């Protein structure tokens, strides 16, 4: 029978892109089970641990708070989502929040693109839509805001 492959914390960090300190922290707050130890006290991780760390990393990238991740760890990868309606609902709500954030960020990108293209019209990046076909009455100070021609008075 083949022995299960194990990995050091350094190897685990390299494979997951998560720092050794973060892995230790996840153990400390019980997002990860305490790692098995070698006789010398060094942590050892299995592929299952690496998969869990990758899941945590993915959830973290979505902006999910660490304390909200715990329920997802109890569900196996091949589980039927219909068996966990509360988790499905939580994930749907989280997705809605992300879509809203993307929309807000797109407005910021649009604003930046406009400033790069026009550079002289001052406009905020609020949610309010406005007619952009005609520029507002803009003071010379506002016009120089992005034009790079303003002189700074010291």
pLDDT of residue 140: 52
> Which residues fall within 8 angstroms of residue 69, CB to CB, at 6 or more apart?
31, 56, 59, 60
pLDDT of residue 74: 81
- Is residue 56 within 8 Å of 62, Cβ to Cβ? no
| Residues 92, 79: Cα–Cα separation, whole Å | 17
pLDDT of residue 43: 94
Alpha helices in the chain (DSSP H): 9-16, 20-28, 47-61, 66-73, 85-117, 140-144
Lookup result for tokens 């749907």: 92
Lookup result for tokens 């309606």: 85
Per-residue pLDDT of the chain (154 residues; tens, 9 = 90+): 567 899 999 999 999 999 999 999 999 999 998 999 999 999 999 999 999 999 999 999 989 999 999 888 888 777 888 888 999 899 899 999 999 999 999 999 998 888 888 765 555 655 554 544 444 455 554 444 444 434 444 3
């Amino acid at each position: 029978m083949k022995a299960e492959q194990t990995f050091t914390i350094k190897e685990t960090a390299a494979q997951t892109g998560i720092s050794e300190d973060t892995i230790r922290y996840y153990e400390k707050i019980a997002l990860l089970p305490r790692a098995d130890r070698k006789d010398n006290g060094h942590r050892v991780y299995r592929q299952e641990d690496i998969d869990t760390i990758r899941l945590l990393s993915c959830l973290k990238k979505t902006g999910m708070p660490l304390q909200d991740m715990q329920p997802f760890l109890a569900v196996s990868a091949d589980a039927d989502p219909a068996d966990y309606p509360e988790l499905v609902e939580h994930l749907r709500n989280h997705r809605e929040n992300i879509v809203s954030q993307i929309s807000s960020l797109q407005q910021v990108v649009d604003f930046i693109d406009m400033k790069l293209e026009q550079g002289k019209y001052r406009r905020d990046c609020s949610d309010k839509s406005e007619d952009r076909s005609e520029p507002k009455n803009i003071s010379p100070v506002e016009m120089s805001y992005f034009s790079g021609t303003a002189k700074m008075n010291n």
